[in-house]
Amino acid sequence: MNITERRISTTVLVIGTGGSGLRAAIELAEQGVSVLAVGKRPRIDTHTSLAAGGINAALGTMDAEDSWQQHAADTIKESYGLANPHTAQIVAKGAAQGIADLERYGMAFAREDDGRISQRFFGAHTYRRTAFAGDYTGLEIQRSLVNRAAQLDVPILDSLYITRILVRDGVVFGAYGFDLADGTPHLIHADAVILAAGGHNRIWRRTSSRRDENTGDSFRLAVEAGARLRDPELVQFHPSGIIEPENAAGTLISEAARGEGGILRNGLGERFMKNYDPERMELSTRDRVALAAYTEITEGRGTANGGVWLDVSHLPRETIMTRLPRVYQTMLELQMLDITAEPIEIAPTAHYSMGGVWVRPEDHSTEVAGLYAIGEASSGLHGANRLGGNSLIELLVFGRIVGRAAAEYSAGLETQRRSRDAEAQARHEISELLAADGPENVRALQRAVRNTMTEHAGVARDEAGLLTGLRELDEITERTDKVGIHPDIAGFGDLAHAFDLKASLIAARATLEAARERRETRGCHNRSDYPDLDPALQVNLVWSPTDGVVREEIPPVPDEIAELMVDVSADGKLVE
């Protein structure tokens, strides 16, 4: 490349400017530590801003008997025994501080008449512990964090794509990337790197993520730096993503639509949930409703477009306009559909990566010295089914903890040793792709990955399908050697898509190989050839390209939490 390389030095580099990345950057700035945050999306439009439901903390504002121990117990129970108990404890215990931090940053929570933060039932919670701001909770959190970061003068580069974390002898010393607008290469030296670049649900055809986010970037950057992935096969499929238009397929219809009394019907007009969960019907858990809809569709009882119907038109118009305003507006804008009069066509959609980069529970450090992972990029909290509202509080709790841990790690370094070879390799990787002029189209190959994952590793999986998926991935990987990259007047998006493709291939392989190893049905992971839960598989599956999948024991649940893990009543709740 002929463009002059830009060189930057900072104490800590944060990759990703969503909720977890900004919270870590704020903590570092408040501690007086030099930090740089970089993202490939505008900071106000990160994935966090899409989160609607709410954020959990056992504040006891509505139910005084709630406790952090009960929050941890509910989290572990919903995880089907795969959550790390230590991680669950840390989040549940630190949640109230997370909410207090948001209040300090000016977050406008919904409140009761007497000024208490309002909390509602969400997911399989024993008590009301989900705080919220209308159905725009994630967006309000993101705005609050962006404003606080601005007050602290945290430097943020919005259109910087990181291509490689720089490592020497198993120790991080920075990262390399390029500007999406003009292609300027960036060499960033840093004592520590915090990876907060999301999950991998964009590698399915129908997903709640936007086009160029959650393509598995965190997974690739971590693995190529020498870290490992934990439970990549555990992906939550949301029951209700829209089917049309094509460019918005997977956009979520909030589960509040079912919570307010929405009815699910198949293509024959039958209310099918009575066959899957006759007691809870549409208020069943997210994994059950998704599997039910998937089964109706695959067994030929779906709509002509391969979906099912979600109908709220029988509800009073006032209820829809006051309780489901975002759903009403979204369907009007995307399909000119009036949900007060007509049903919504939906299908299960890939929604959340419950696995991610392997990290230690106490500080989310990886096996690469100086490298940390947080948010959807990390693993340990959610197991095989995420408790609704836990994803947002996780960002706040571990953003704070990891910011402090990275600062402490940097303060303990005597020297920072760099590697010219690692820097040269990162430069070469970009220049080689820019010189690529083959016949293969990067976008077409991304679509091929999504088709493979949708066909063979969707809501339900089996051995034959997973093996077919792995064979197809091998073929797609071979074709990547013949891509053509063409930067144009609009910028270097094509180059970014090529790196997104590399990430998707690593994430897809990890997912397929771990899904093969998990020969059972547990939570979100449905093996049609192994329909029962296997107690021997109450383990985490850890993947690396060199060692494949290895089993990792989960620590025992402390007695004070285990005794609280009882079945939660679903009366009057939308079960997540």
The DSSP annotation for 283-318 comes to GS-HHHHHHHHHHHIIIIIS-TTS-EEEE-TTS-HH
Q: Over the chain, what is the mean pLDDT?
A: 93
Top-confidence residue, 26 or 251: 26
User: Does 287 or 481 have the greater pLDDT score?
Assistant: 481
Q: Which among 325, 405, 311 is positioned nearest to 360, based on CA atoms?
A: 405
**Average of per-residue pLDDT across 266-281:** 94
**Catalytic option among 23, 129, 205, 238:** 238
Which stretch of 49-58, 76-85, 164-173, 351-360 has the lowest confidence by average pLDDT? 49-58
Q: Is 238 labeled as catalytic in the residue annotation?
A: yes
Contact 329, 337 (CB under 8 A): no
Annotated catalytic residue 202: no
What integer pLDDT is reported at residue 229 of this predicted model?
98
Q: Would you state the pLDDT for residue 573?
A: 46
Q: From CA 564, how far away is CA 267, in angstroms rounded?
A: 42
pLDDT digits (tens, 9 = 90+) for 479-524: 999 999 988 777 799 999 999 999 999 999 999 999 999 999 999 9
Q: What is the rounded CA–CA span in Å between residue 170 and residue 503?
A: 21
**In this structure, are residues 391 and 80 in contact, taking their beta carbons and an 8 Å threshold?**
no
Is the pLDDT confidence value at 314 over 80? yes
Higher pLDDT, 154 or 569: 154
Please give the torsion angle defined by the CA atoms of residues 145, 148, 154 and 156, in that order, rounded to the nearest 10 degrees. Answer: 40
Residue 37: which region, alpha, beta or left (left: phi > 0; alpha: psi -120 to 50)? Answer: beta
Look at 7-11, 78-82, 280-284, 400-404 and tell me which has the smallest mean pLDDT: 280-284
pTM for this model (two decimals): 0.94
For residue 523, the SS3 value is coil
Between CA 78 and CA 60 the distance in angstroms is 21
What is the C-alpha separation between 156 and 173, in angstroms, rounded? 19
Regarding predicted confidence, which is higher, 479 or 110? Answer: 479
Q: Give the tens place of pLDDT for each residue, 431-445.
A: 999 999 999 999 999
Helix (H) or strand (E) holding 164: strand 160-168
Say how many C-beta atoms besides its own lie within 10 A of residue 74's C-beta. Answer: 28
User: Cα 143 vs. chain centroid, distance in angstroms?
Assistant: 19
**Catalytic-labelled residue, pool 148, 186, 258, 461:** 258
Run of H or E residues at 447: helix 442-456
Q: In sequence order, which residues have a C-beta less than 8 Å from that of residue 208 and are 6 or more positions away?
A: 50, 201, 238, 241, 250, 251, 252, 349, 350, 351
